[in-house]
Chain A
Amino acid sequence: GAVVSQHPSRVICKSGTSVKIECRSLDFQATTMFWYRQFPKQSLMLMATSNEGSKATYEQGVEKDKFLINHASLTLSTLTVTSAHPEDSSFYICSAHNPRGLSSYNEQFFGPGTRLTVL
């Protein structure tokens, strides 16, 4: 299947700093990527839809000025957590939809996730 990578896999930062997380589709082009946040023992909560060449679409309750998303190319989307606080500590996961995939029509491929800890 298609491969999606994320970098870094783990990051620890001080409160007030900004952290950038990269999501790459390695063997296919993704015009649309999605960013999720997952707290321990909870479900994946969709934060935003990242669209190549246009502004991201944020879910209700997600601050667009705090979680900056840039989808500069067909294989790269970045999520920047600005002025991070301890409550932003979470597991951030991206996914990409491969519309040309031979597998199931709606299969999404998830990155391995980034565990963010804000001290």
Chain B
Amino acid sequence: GQSLEQPSEVTAVEGAIVQINCTYQTSGFYGLSWYQQHDGGAPTFLSYNALDGLEETGRFSSFLSRSDSYGYLLLQELQMKDSASYFCAGSTDSWGKLQFGAGTQVVVTP
């Protein structure tokens, strides 16, 4: 199985940069995904890392280090609409099966 750990909550002001770390333990690992979920909504895909290194998509970037079993999501130029829960999720097979971390609540203040 897998376990993924991430901080429970992060608070930051508009325009700031936030890094959400995720460490994982797994018996089978294909890659690390990141999802955003607003209250009452469905998760939406943000980023995926199969290989070590940094993936950049607009204001969001994600990083993976397989040797350290560690990844992070970087949120830049924070906006109020970025207030949401962010989940890291490990892929355990090639068909997309995901194991989710507990989620990090990001609170953006004016």
Binding site for B on A (CB under 8 A): 1, 32, 34, 36, 42-46, 49, 93, 95, 97, 99, 103-113
Known: A43-B101, A105-B50. A110 touches B96 (CB 8 A): no
Q: Which residues of B contact A110 (CB under 8 A)?
A: 35, 42-44
Chain B: minimal CB distance from A22 (Å) = 15
CB contact under 8 A between A106 and B100, given known A44-B43, A97-B95: no
Q: Give the residues in chain B near A32, CB-CB below 8 Å.
A: 95-96
Q: By the criterion CB–CB under 8 Å, are A106 and B42 in contact?
A: no
Known: A93-B42, A106-B33. A44 touches B96 (CB 8 A): no
Task: Give the residues in chain B near A105, CB-CB below 8 Å.
Answer: 31, 48, 50
Contacts between the two chains (Cβ within 8 Å), count: 64
Residues on B close to A: CB < 8 A?
30-31, 33, 35, 41-45, 47-48, 50, 87, 91, 95-103
Given that A32-B95, A34-B97, A46-B97 are known contacts, is A109 also in contact with B87, CB under 8 Å in the complex?
no
